[in-house]
């Protein structure tokens, strides 16, 4: 039985007995080809997303298997992009899975010459400390004529325009409450 199956799977046997005597097609099909599937078909989930590059707003479908992004391609449903992507959009999977992505906090101490590692919680607390200190040091309560200023000019921020509306909203809200005025964005540039 084993031998027989082995022989039957031998392309030469299929050549001699099947429809493909020249061995250029059906007979030559390999085990991998016989079971080949598109990985979009076998993905665990698909997220409907939007391209992060320019402002055209092309629809993307993000395919995920085992918690990893396995494919990102254009969403044919999008009336804007009709499933198409430019080279940058088409490279989105490489963008999010790039081995060059930084995934840990890095810290350069004053006058340091190398990066150091830092725990995320520690970093958050250190940043909060510095924000509060800078704010206190540079706080302006009122102008020369006694009109309110309620602000600090000791803190700046420059945001990229790939941030979400919700993120921008919280950034502006927090900084405004903090009195930090110098909040800027790529939109200025």
Q: Are 65 and 42 in contact (CB under 8 A)?
A: yes
Does the footprint of another protein cover residue 5 (CB under 8 A)? no
Distance in Å, CB of 4 to another protein, minimum: 17
Going by the DSSP 8-state scheme, the letter that residue 68 receives in this structure is: E
Under rule CB under 8 A, which residues in 71-100 are in contact with another protein?
71-96, 98, 100
Does the footprint of another protein cover residue 39 (CB under 8 A)? yes
Distance in Å, CB of 140 to another protein, minimum: 9
Q: Which residues contact 138 (CB under 8 A, 6 or more apart)?
A: 152, 153, 154, 155
Looking at 6, 8, 17, 18, which residue binds another protein (CB under 8 A)? 18
Does the footprint of another protein cover residue 113 (CB under 8 A)? yes
Total count of residues recorded for the chain: 189
Does the footprint of another protein cover residue 108 (CB under 8 A)? yes
Under rule CB under 8 A, which residues in 131-160 are in contact with another protein?
131-134, 137-139, 141, 143, 147-160
Does the footprint of another protein cover residue 186 (CB under 8 A)? yes
Q: State how far the Cα of 110 lies from the Cα of 100, in Å rounded to an integer.
A: 25
Q: Looking at beta carbons only, is 4 or 123 nearer to another protein?
A: 123
Tokens of 92: 């989105």
Count of residues near another protein by CB under 8 A: 148
Selection from 26, 78, 33 nearest residue 57 by Cα: 78
Tokens of 162: 């790939």
């Amino acid at each position: 039985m084993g031998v027989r199956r082995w022989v039957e799977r031998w392309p030469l046997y299929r050549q001699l007995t099947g429809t493909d005597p020249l061995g250029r097609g059906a007979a030559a099909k390999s085990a991998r080809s016989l079971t080949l599937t598109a990985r979009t078909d076998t993905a665990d989930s698909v997220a409907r997303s939007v391209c992060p590059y320019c402002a055209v707003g092309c629809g993307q479908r993000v395919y995920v298997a085992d918690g990893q992004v396995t494919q990102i391609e254009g969403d044919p449903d999008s009336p804007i992009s009709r499933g198409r992507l430019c080279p940058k959009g088409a490279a989105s999977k490489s963008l999010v899975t790039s081995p060059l992505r930084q995934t840990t906090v890095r810290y350069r101490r004053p006058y340091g010459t190398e990066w150091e590692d830092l725990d995320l919680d520690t970093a958050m607390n250190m940043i909060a400390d510095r924000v509060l200190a800078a704010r206190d040091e540079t706080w302006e309560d009122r102008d020369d004529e006694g009109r309110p200023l309620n602000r600090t000019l000791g803190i700046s921020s420059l945001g990229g325009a790939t941030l979400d509306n919700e993120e921008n909203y919280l950034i502006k809200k927090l900084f405004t409450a903090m009195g930090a005025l110098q909040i800027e964005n790529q939109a200025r540039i």
